[in-house]
Amino acid sequence: MNIKFVVVGKLKEKYFKQGIAEYAKRLSRFCKFSIVEVPDEKAPESMSQAEMDQVMAAEGERILSKIKDKEYVYALAILGKERSSEEFAKEIKDLTTYGHSDITFVIGGSLGLTPAVLKRADTQISFGRFTLPHQLMRLVLTEQVYRAFMIIEGSPYHK
């Protein structure tokens, strides 16, 4: 099984890198885990809607170029469906049972995801209505994927 994150921007903070590296190491017993970073589009602080759309479109094209047809795609979106950890684990288990061995999670840049990326996604997932920095979201998502595998395994980790 392959789990891939396609994310906009580089991770700069050492503490986020360390946390993700720890969960990536733990995940290695369950799957092949990878993170693909696509460059964020340089943008001024204040932009018109047209400029924002242009930035999102450029990032969206980069994201879509990293997704293969066979991949099952989760787009992280505030308006996506919220799930409990147990529901998420069941979804992952069901996907693998029914032949989806390549699962990709997409985390957009600071402006979010384009309609084209959301359309390509098989489902949208939300971690609540909070706005979180996408660097922190990477760490939270990595932990939740690990938690899902621990739930599937029946481990007491998730309690």
- 74, 104 Cβ separation under 8 angstroms: yes
- 91, 144 Cβ separation under 8 angstroms: no
C-alpha pair distances (Å), 5 with each of 24, 35, 44: 11, 5, 26
Q: Is 23 inside a domain boundary?
A: yes
Report the domain count for the chain. 1
CA distance 18 to 145: 16
User: Domain of 76: which CATH number?
Assistant: 3.40.1280.10
Provide the residue-wise pLDDT of the chain in tens; the chain has 159 residues.
999 999 999 999 999 999 999 999 999 999 999 999 999 998 888 899 999 999 999 999 999 999 999 999 999 998 999 999 999 999 999 999 999 999 999 999 989 999 999 999 999 999 998 888 889 999 999 999 999 999 999 998 866
Instruction: Of 27, 135, 19, 25, give the one whose Cα is nearest residue 76.
Output: 135
Residue 158: CB atoms within 10 Å: 16
Q: Is 46 inside a domain boundary?
A: no
Place of tokens 């959301």: 118
Helix (H, G, I), strand (E, B) or coil at 120: helix
What tokens appear for 6 in the block?
Answer: 């396609």
* Predicted pLDDT of residue 130: 86
* Predicted pLDDT of residue 93: 97
Residue ranges of the annotated binding site for S-adenosyl-L-methionine are 76, 108
Range of the domain at 82: 2-41+51-154
* Predicted pLDDT of residue 95: 97
Q: Is 159 inside a domain boundary?
A: no
